A and B are shown apart, each in its own frame.
Chain A
Amino acid sequence: MSMKKSWILYFIILTVFIGSCKKSGENTIPWTTIPYLITIPPHFPQKLNIPSDNPMTVEGVTLGRYLFYDGRLSGRTDPDSLMSCANCHVQANSFVCGINNPKYTNGHPFGITGIPTPHFMLPMINLIWTDHGYLWNGSISDENPAVQSRKLEDLVWMGIVAPHEMHGDTGRTKALIQSIKGYPELYKNAFGSDFVTIKNTGKAIAQFVRSLISANSKFDRFLQGEVQLTASERTGFVLFMTEQGGDCFHCHGGDGNPLFTTNLFYNNGKDSLFDDLRDRYHFTMSSSDIGAYKAPTLRNLVFTAPYMHDGRFKTLDEVIDFYSSGLVWSPSISPLMHHIATHGIQLLPQEKADLKAFLLTLTDSSFVANPAFARPSRMPDEN
């Protein structure tokens, strides 16, 4: 069929289609969305954590990105009371607030009213593969008795009301977003209705968060055979991957698990006394989880200081010193911390430098500069 003919045919079909719509009394073209395609990087898991009632769409991710960066999510318009996810989750720092954050000293964020968050931050990357619950203790999961606190989506209403975050109320947020020019249309594009709901707000932001994939580090290119590691990086890699070396891979992944986390929970030997009401134990009530936290991904560490759930280590050198000689025994220490007998892996200074050099090959600078994940140049009402 010639180009011309096919165009005519297309036109006829379209007219018939529109005509039929009119007949049934509907004037509008049916609501459709464009699927947002996820490209799975080599060796990354095939199973994606996308709830069946919130498929990724281009429209959903677009709306989610505006909301993620819009301080009016707090339900207020006063400049002092604006707060969005991006206040704390800063792209330049792989979505933690960062140790040099001008507002949050030492990288410990606090909410609108000054109440500090109970924990320090987790890097918000590659969460489309999180399979054992969100947060340091994994409590946002299907095992949570509260049905409204199980999904990534749910962290949005939780953030709006949490005293240590936006300290707002969802009704006010809903009404404010509804009143902002441009948003109702974006909700309509994404969800088929211009009525702003907290449910759809959570869905859109969750879609944007799931789109934050970081998989372009030197180490990824090494695995693809595109670059070589330096001698020091390679020595560090061997230390990382061997039981008699540093033995980091059992909890943090490696060449067989490029997420660089198992997303599981361990007590990695920091303390002998435990008083945090938000550790893994207080969620599972299993005594082997006392003092256990999610092993975070080791990607983009260069941006994510300070380290650990309580931010106790300001630098990677401090973390490496800890694993080298600072381990503390407790009854619930993970059985994978077998170097506890010698208080650590006992690295020589050169080995510490090598391990650090390897960890820094997990840096993805293109991710923190990716314009698709950045604050939109204009908010919907500024367009």
Chain B
Amino acid sequence: MSHQELWIAFSTIVRKEIRRFTRIWAQTLLPPAITMTLYFIIFGNLIGSRIGEMGGFNYMEFIVPGLIMMSVITNSYGNVVSSFFSTKFQRNIEELLVSPTPNWVILSGYVLGGVARGLAVGFIVTLLSLFFTKLQIHSFGVTIATVLMTSILFSLGGFINAVFANSFDDISIIPTFILTPLTYLGGVFYSIQLLPEFWQGVSQLNPILYMVNTFRYGILGVSDINVGFAFAVIVLFNVALFLVALKLLNMGKGIRQ
């Protein structure tokens, strides 16, 4: 395919993905808006006012970046895992398999679909947070780059999950048993400096910690960890997951007999 044709195929997939999550907005865009508003009210306002400072900021200011990131993560992942799994399940993946669209374009298209949903939800949550706190951005570049890379990473994760999933149950196992705990323990609600040294060390193994902290650095200018290192970790994960996902697609794992 020519460059122009590749671009058309890619944008067709992305448009289809965006059409999907906007069509079912009540299942995709509304729930995180409600949940996060509740977090802002309960943790930020009611409980936060009693907590005092965290990392040099009031508690509401501290958790807003983490909560934005948490919604980006769950929605990027959730979008690709359910979209690609149902594409597999309804067999309309065959529409792509018979076409000349190469696998890397298919993968990139689904990933950008996940990024679009992650960013859409991130944007909604950011707007909502403005009702509760003032948001000043310390470094626009770091903020955007982190949110993008994180969204790509979890879209890739969702894709790989969908490749291996054989039932609708299989697409909720990873989010429930891995993603949610890692997010809660990834420094969304607290600074890891509150933890005993041993648990600080363990927390360093949690990739989500790096993303939440880099993002928080972008907004507030403070981080529990070295931002450059965190960035390198995120990029490395992205490259690795992209290659794994592409390999699976090339093998036809779960989609071709």
Do A and B pair up? The answer is: no
